[in-house]
Amino acid sequence: TGGLIVASNHLSFIDSMAIPVCAPRPVRFIAKDTYWKQSGLKGKALKNFFEFVQAVPVDRESPRAAQESLDVALTVLQAGEAFGIYPEGTRSLDGALHKGRTGVGWLALESGVPVVPVGLVGTDRMQPVGTRWPRPTRITVRFGKPMTFGQYADLPPGKARRLITDDVMNAIGALSGQKRSGTFSALPTA
């Protein structure tokens, strides 16, 4: 119960469905707001789906998109809900676990809630990047132990965010078994 950050690797579009299906409580994720703005039958189906899973729409083209996403996430956490985040920032196109961006560290410090690391295995085979429909494949969702970060409370905020993020990425890596890249994943262009 209470606010909780669910931090996972990100291999496929299906990840945001796999985690909520396996989690013992609802987990909300951010989704680009264009999913709510498409027309026709497909647009209506997408809008209904994302409202059903209680996704949070965010304008990815806004100059403040990253901070706006974190502000929305903080509101979800303060309401006592679980919020899912992908610290890599986007799907891994090469299958490696990339260096985490410090948004998860910011959220952990600002909210004071625990972080549960998650390792996803096989979702990239179930729905590879660029495919429309899932393929029958076995996937694994591994939930780690909740992590708290009181030991970083007295550090400068930037250093604390980096250390928290690195700790979370190490836990995700242990759960997913992915090769580590040591570099940031390239974010999608607008």
Task: Annotate 110-170 with three-state secondary structure.
Answer: HHCCCEEEEEEECHHHHCCCCCCCCCCCCCEEEECCCECCHHHCCCCHHHHHHHHHHHHHH
Tokens matching residue 96: 């490696």
Angle of helix 103-111 versus helix 65-78 axis, rounded to 10: 30
Range 93-115 average pLDDT: 96
Asked if residue 25 has pLDDT above 60, the reply is: yes
Q: What is the mean pLDDT of residues 145-166?
A: 97
Which of 40-54, 120-134, 141-155 ranks highest by mean pLDDT?
141-155
| Buried-state track 75-105, b at ≥16 Cβ within 10 A, e below 16 | ebbeeebbbbbbbbbebbeeebbbbbbbbbb
Looking at residue 50, its pLDDT comes to 85
Mean pLDDT of 70-84: 95
Q: Which two tokens stand for residue 65?
A: 């998109």
| Strand ranges, E, within 9-71 | 27-28, 30-32, 56-58
Band (178; pLDDT cuts 50, 70, 90): very high
User: Quick one: pLDDT at residue 188?
Assistant: 63
Range in 56-60, 105-109, 122-126, 181-185 the model is least confident about: 56-60
Q: Quick one: pLDDT at residue 86?
A: 94
Cα–Cα dist 161/35, whole Å: 31
Q: Worst-scoring range by mean pLDDT, 3-7, 30-34, 138-142? A: 30-34
Q: How confident is the model at residue 13 (pLDDT cuts 50, 70, 90)?
A: confident
Whether residue 190 has pLDDT greater than 60: no
Structure-token pair, residue 188: 């999608």
Q: 120 forms bridges with which residues in the sheet? A: 141
Angle at 90 between CA 27 and CA 188, to 5 degrees: 135
When the pLDDT of each residue in the chain is averaged and rounded to a whole number, the result is 92
Among 37, 50, 59, 111, CA closest to 81:
111
